[in-house]
A and B are shown apart, each in its own frame.
Chain A
Amino acid sequence: MHVTFTDQELAFRDEVRAFFRDKLPDDIRKKQQHGVPLDREDYIRFQKVLHERGWAGINWPVEYGGTGWTSVQQYIFATEQAEANAPDVIAFGLKMVGPVIYTFGNEEQKRRFLPDILASNVWWCQGYSEPGAGSDLAALKTRADLAGDHYVVNGTKSWTTLGQHADWIFCLVRTNTDVARRQEGISFLLIDMSTPGITVKPIITIEGEHEVNDVYFDNVKVPVENLVGEEGKGWTYGKVLLQHERTNIAGVARSKYRLRKLRAQAARRVRGEPPLATDRNFLRKLAAVEVELKALEYTDLRTLAAVASGKAPGPESSILKLRGTELQQAIDELYVEAAAYYALPYVPDQYVLGFPEAERVGEGAETKTSLRYFNFRKASIYAGSNEIQKNIIAKHVLGL
């Protein structure tokens, strides 16, 4: 057991640091710095930069074009990525459907889909939740009825993140209703979003942005070759994917970066006033979150090490989702506290590049703090609500 990096690891860190310094497009870095939302092309541009370097498939096996990195390398990469103000990759392709296809797909599917996922030529979104199936995902009703060489899909998927940008959607659909357990009639289907019969409608979230959607399927014809693995086994595949999603969700590196930035902000004087960093109440809360985050950082590292040694992330990954999102939300609250009255202005227009600094509302403060706080209440709800994570730990880890 030792905590310091080896010379090799240090060299790797320098390599990653140099990569982000030299290759991350400056406008994307600036947008990230100023809280300007990235558009579709920004993400694609960034992910293509990663791909050119061979770093798009962080957790993919080498045989499918992945990095084959150790857990420590993955950790170093995530840290440098956050420190460089680089965005996260959109998870749906690279971190979700990709692993499902290389694990459970057939050779034809691997050949057909994986290269475009790695190269970010195709934008994927996720069709899991439905209006009547949230925490109880197995209650999903979207049907796929076999009709010769294709399925006919009917139903509604909800909360589909960035579905407005997507070329393809991976869906959990019901292919059989005559089963003993509801989970057994579910299949994993890949659907081209340009197929006739698909409608995407925006859902505006609490802070006023268009991030999620309802996706309606009305007699959508999907070729049978788009079924991943076996019919009726979709639940198993989907669960593996969710566990991957949950390990990605802890966001430790990003949270560390945000805490450090908050400390720096709290140390600034506004118009000669003593900085917030002289307020012991605030400092104690900040310190408490830092301790919790350190603990999560090492829980994350332990999980990554287990995965790198060949194990799939188990139900323990629920801890990462649970604590990771709780800490993200705790940091959001500290930002709101730090802003005092400047948590109130709602001026999304000023979050564009080139907005004149003199006209910005919120001198010395981060006025987007409360918007982020509101938006991130979703974190304890999505990807299996935190209540569901506790159920998973209770049932599958503690055997209760």
Chain B
Amino acid sequence: MDLSLNEVQLMLQDSVEKFIANDYDFETRQSYAASKAGYSAEVWQQFAELGWTAVPFSEDDGGFDGGPVEVMVLMQQFGRGLVVEPYLANVILAGGVLQRVASDTQKRDWLLPIIAGELQAALAFVEPQSRYDIANVVTSAKKDGDGWLLTGTKGVVLNGGNAGLLIVPARTSGAQSDSDGISLFAVTTDTAGLSRKSYPTVDGHQAAEVKLDNVRVDASALLGDVDRGYETLDAVIDEATLAISAEAVGIMRILTDKTVEYTKNRVQFGVPISSFQALQHRMVDMFTACEQSQSLLMWATMVNAERTDEAKRAVSAIKYQIGTTGKKVGQEAVQLHGGMGVSWELDIAHYFKRLTAIGQLFGNADWHLDKLGV
């Protein structure tokens, strides 16, 4: 057992830290979030050049041969920098599916361009009725000659408006919530019958509602085996859950640091408000939440990197942890900043909104506690 990062991981951490410090201050981030695409294409290209878009993929696939630990290192820093570039949607979610089940040809067509920073992709795993159940798929795929016809509605598709490629889970057999009978399709967004409504999300990212109206795709669009898509989805969502948990821990930490700093400088009643014991204890609770979350994150990441028996439960454990303490830390950071905490102008509000969004992604605290309880 060894809880330290290795040399390569430390270099990765160092390079992201430097990027955030030198090229990604809060005002810059806000300008990217406010742009039409909601992120910077230039920055994305920089991510590719620095090799970050290759991190979770194997060398055979043209990747960096990283895994959950390297993703954790990256995402924690992205959290600190409040990065809006669609790393989660594009690399972790869409790339994650392609890495697992795409054929060599499909990888050449889709995964390599993602790694090269040339293609934006998205995974449409939510439907209006599905809440957090990724097996709840109504969108259907019916055989049409040697191809398929896709019909249905996908909701809150992260990065869906920018994506040139959508990965669409569709039902090829079984009932609405069966895990068997889901197949995955790669659909380019210029395909006839596909329409999108793109919008910003509350955390400065972007998403889209997607309608598929008899969208015809060739046999080559099928990713992996027919009816066997759920296992892939489940594994990718677990990996993504770990990734955003790392992002959340990065945010919780910087919110705690900034809150401690603010209370030391904010003078009321003739003294810094940090001198009030009632507030000190609350900041101690924030700090404790950060440390506990960091510890759980490291454990969850390691058992997933090494695929031990605890891997699946660990994902739910860390998501429950950041779902509860992330909410608490976010709310406390806002409260202790007073009116400044609810101002658009300050970064605190935006960290809090991102934490809130992360809390909603891939199952909230209750959803994961239920999984742990059985």
Show the binding face of A for B, using Cβ within 8 Å: 129, 132-136, 139, 158-159, 203-208, 212, 270-273, 276, 279, 281-282, 333, 336-337, 339-347, 359, 361, 363-364, 370-371, 373-375, 377-378, 380-382, 385-387, 390
Cα of A271 to Cα of B50 in the assembled complex, Å: 45
A-B contact pairs, 7 of them (CB 8 A): A133-B268, A206-B342, A206-B353, A341-B155, A361-B197, A361-B209, A377-B352
Q: Which of A129, A270, A345, A387 contacts B339 (CB 8 A)?
A: A129
Residues of B320-374 at the interface with A, using a CB-CB cut-off of 8 Å, are 327, 331, 334-335, 338-339, 341-345, 349, 352-353, 356-357, 360-361, 364, 366, 369-370
Q: Of the 9-residue stretches B70-78, B101-109, B199-207, B301-309, which lies at the interface with chain A?
A: B199-207
Determine whether B8 belongs to the interface, using a CB cutoff of 8 Å to chain A.
Answer: no
Residues of B148-192 at the interface with A, using a CB-CB cut-off of 8 Å, are 153, 155-156, 176
Cα of A222 to Cα of B209 in the assembled complex, Å: 55
* B344 in contact with A208 (CB, 8 Å): yes
Residues of chain A with a CB closer than 8 A to B331's CB: 377
Interface centre among A207, A276, A279, A387 (most CB of B within 10 A): A387
Cα of A276 to Cα of B367 in the assembled complex, Å: 12
- The contact string, 1 if C-beta is below 8 Å from chain A, for chain B 123-159, is 0001111111000101000000000000001011000
Residues of chain B with a CB closer than 8 A to A212's CB: 339
Interface centre among B331, B342, B343, B356 (most CB of A within 10 A): B342
Chain A nearest CB, measured from B370 CB (Å): 7
* B129 in contact with A377 (CB, 8 Å): no
Cα of A359 to Cα of B196 in the assembled complex, Å: 11
Cα of A371 to Cα of B200 in the assembled complex, Å: 13
Cα of A26 to Cα of B202 in the assembled complex, Å: 30
Q: Which of A340, A342, A344, A347 contacts B132 (CB 8 A)?
A: A340
Cα of A92 to Cα of B218 in the assembled complex, Å: 65
A-B contact sample (6 more), CB < 8 A, given A129-B339, A207-B202 = A158-B339, A206-B349, A341-B156, A344-B203, A344-B207, A370-B202
Interface centre among A136, A159, A344, A345 (most CB of B within 10 A): A344
Cα of A385 to Cα of B364 in the assembled complex, Å: 29
Residues of chain B with a CB closer than 8 A to A272's CB: 129, 176
Chain A nearest CB, measured from B34 CB (Å): 11
Cα of A203 to Cα of B344 in the assembled complex, Å: 8
Determine whether B279 belongs to the interface, using a CB cutoff of 8 Å to chain A.
Answer: yes
* A136 in contact with B338 (CB, 8 Å): no
* A341 in contact with B360 (CB, 8 Å): yes
Chain A nearest CB, measured from B285 CB (Å): 15
Cα of A341 to Cα of B205 in the assembled complex, Å: 13
Residues of chain A with a CB closer than 8 A to B136's CB: 273
Determine whether B1 belongs to the interface, using a CB cutoff of 8 Å to chain A.
Answer: no
Residues of chain A with a CB closer than 8 A to B200's CB: 345-347
Interface centre among A135, A206, A279 (most CB of B within 10 A): A206
* B349 in contact with A270 (CB, 8 Å): no
Residues of chain B with a CB closer than 8 A to A342's CB: 155-156
Residues of chain A with a CB closer than 8 A to B155's CB: 341-342, 363
Determine whether B3 belongs to the interface, using a CB cutoff of 8 Å to chain A.
Answer: no
Residues of chain B with a CB closer than 8 A to A282's CB: 366
* B335 in contact with A136 (CB, 8 Å): no
Residues of chain B with a CB closer than 8 A to A363's CB: 128, 153, 155
Cα of A273 to Cα of B342 in the assembled complex, Å: 36
Q: Which of B269, B334, B357 contacts A377 (CB 8 A)?
A: B334
- Considering only CB atoms, which chain A residue lies closest to B279 in the complex? A387
Q: Which of A281, A333, A340, A361 contacts B131 (CB 8 A)?
A: A340
Q: Which of A205, A279, A347 contacts B344 (CB 8 A)?
A: A205
Chain A nearest CB, measured from B331 CB (Å): 7
* B129 in contact with A206 (CB, 8 Å): no
Residues of chain A with a CB closer than 8 A to B338's CB: 134-135, 381, 385
Chain A nearest CB, measured from B125 CB (Å): 10
Interface centre among A204, A339, A370, A390 (most CB of B within 10 A): A370
| 9 smallest beta-carbon distances between A and B, as pairs | A136-B268, A271-B129, A206-B349, A204-B344, A341-B156, A344-B201, A363-B128, A270-B129, A281-B366
Chain B nearest CB, measured from A351 CB (Å): 13
- Considering only CB atoms, which chain A residue lies closest to B136 in the complex? A273
* B268 in contact with A134 (CB, 8 Å): yes
* B197 in contact with A271 (CB, 8 Å): no
Residues of chain B with a CB closer than 8 A to A364's CB: 128-129
Chain B nearest CB, measured from A368 CB (Å): 10
* A387 in contact with B202 (CB, 8 Å): no
Cα of A380 to Cα of B335 in the assembled complex, Å: 7
Residues of chain B with a CB closer than 8 A to A385's CB: 335, 338
Cα of A76 to Cα of B275 in the assembled complex, Å: 45
Cα of A337 to Cα of B343 in the assembled complex, Å: 24
Interface centre among A134, A279, A340, A342 (most CB of B within 10 A): A340
* A205 in contact with B343 (CB, 8 Å): yes
* B360 in contact with A336 (CB, 8 Å): yes
Residues of B269-294 at the interface with A, using a CB-CB cut-off of 8 Å, are 269-270, 273, 278-279
Q: Which of B127, B339, B353 contacts A159 (CB 8 A)?
A: B339
Given contacts A159-B339, A206-B343, A377-B341, A271 and B268 within 8 Å (CB-CB): no
Given contacts A206-B342, A206-B343, A208-B344, A341 and B202 within 8 Å (CB-CB): no
* B342 in contact with A381 (CB, 8 Å): yes
* A359 in contact with B197 (CB, 8 Å): yes
* A204 in contact with B339 (CB, 8 Å): no
Residues of chain B with a CB closer than 8 A to A337's CB: 364, 366
* B335 in contact with A346 (CB, 8 Å): no
Given contacts A206-B349, A208-B344, A347-B199, A341 and B339 within 8 Å (CB-CB): no
Interface centre among B132, B201, B267, B270 (most CB of A within 10 A): B201
Chain A nearest CB, measured from B350 CB (Å): 8
Cα of A272 to Cα of B176 in the assembled complex, Å: 10
* B356 in contact with A370 (CB, 8 Å): yes
- The contact string, 1 if C-beta is below 8 Å from chain A, for chain B 6-28, is 00000000000000000000000
* A203 in contact with B341 (CB, 8 Å): no
Residues of chain B with a CB closer than 8 A to A206's CB: 334, 341-344, 349, 352-353
* B341 in contact with A381 (CB, 8 Å): yes
Residues of chain A with a CB closer than 8 A to B129's CB: 270-273, 364
Q: Which of A129, A135, A273, A371 contacts B202 (CB 8 A)?
A: A371
- Considering only CB atoms, which chain A residue lies closest to B129 in the complex? A271
Chain A nearest CB, measured from B214 CB (Å): 19
